[in-house]
């Protein structure tokens, strides 16, 4: 939702998770304290962010964003289903691919080539943007 290139694999063993993070330059976000005791994370070769799951989800998200640094999030540039970067599409290109009621009121769309799905900024996105702006 915030535009970060995210990968979720569950279940996964620590060794494989660390290997993927090292190979792909990813940051491990985990509530498992044990993984932070592994050498690649202790040495800083692989970056990790601990998340306290006793916090509310918004508090967890704030902690993650704080560790990533300000200004790196780009909300709604990726597909929330599959993580693929979305492609802007015109009103005409969305014709027949979305509900007629939406087509009449929304001018700009995004498209996920992997899911073959059109997205638009409906009320749910407006509500999510309001939450993001408060972070
Ligand atoms: Zn997708």
Q: Give distance in angstroms: CA of 41 to centre of ligand 1.
A: 31
Range of the domain at 67: 14-72
Q: Give distance in angstroms: CA of 82 to centre of ligand 1.
A: 4
Tell me whether residue 5 is in a domain: no
Split into its structural domains, the chain has a count of 2
Residue 122: band (very low, low, confident or very high) from pLDDT cuts 50, 70, 90: confident
Q: Give distance in angstroms: CA of 116 to centre of ligand 1.
A: 7
The pLDDT of residue 71:
67
Q: Give distance in angstroms: CA of 78 to centre of ligand 1.
A: 8
Residues 44 and 91 in one domain: no
Greater confidence (123 vs 105) lies with 105
Cβ neighbourhood burial of 48 (10 Å; 0-12, 13-18, 19+): buried
Q: How far apart are CA 110 and CA 68, in angstroms?
A: 26
Taking residues 86-97, what's their average pLDDT?
Answer: 96
Residues 91 and 122 in one domain: yes
The pLDDT of residue 69:
75
Q: Give distance in angstroms: CA of 119 to centre of ligand 1.
A: 10
Residues 65 and 106 in one domain: no
The pLDDT of residue 72:
72
Q: Give distance in angstroms: CA of 85 to centre of ligand 1.
A: 8
Tell me whether residue 63 is in a domain: yes
Cβ neighbourhood burial of 46 (10 Å; 0-12, 13-18, 19+): buried
Taking residues 124-131, what's their average pLDDT?
Answer: 86
pLDDT tens digit sequence for 13-61 = 999 999 999 999 999 999 999 999 999 999 999 999 999 999 999 999 9
For the question of whether the overall pTM of this predicted structure is more than 0.75, the answer is yes
Tell me which of 47, 72, 97 is where a domain ends.
72
Tell me whether residue 44 is in a domain: yes
The pLDDT of residue 95:
95
Q: Tell me the pLDDT of the chain averaged across its residues.
A: 93
Tell me whether residue 79 is in a domain: no
User: How many C-beta neighbours within 10 Å does residue 21 have?
Assistant: 21
Tell me whether residue 64 is in a domain: yes
The pLDDT of residue 73:
81
């Amino acid at each position: 939702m915030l535009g970060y290139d995210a990968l979720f694999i569950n279940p996964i063993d620590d060794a494989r998770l660390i290997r993927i993070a090292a190979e792909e330059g990813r940051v491990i976000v985990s509530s498992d304290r044990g993984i932070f005791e592994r050498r690649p994370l202790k040495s800083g070769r692989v970056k990790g962010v601990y998340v306290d799951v006793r916090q509310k989800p918004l508090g967890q998200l704030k902690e993650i964003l704080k560790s990533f640094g300000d200004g790196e999030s780009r909300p709604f540039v990726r597909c929330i289903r599959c993580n693929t970067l979305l492609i802007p599409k015109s009103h005409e290109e969305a014709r027949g691919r979305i509900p007629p009621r939406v087509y009449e009121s929304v001018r700009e769309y995004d498209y996920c080539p992997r899911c073959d799905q059109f997205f638009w900024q409906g009320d749910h996105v407006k509500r999510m943007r309001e939450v993001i702006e408060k972070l």
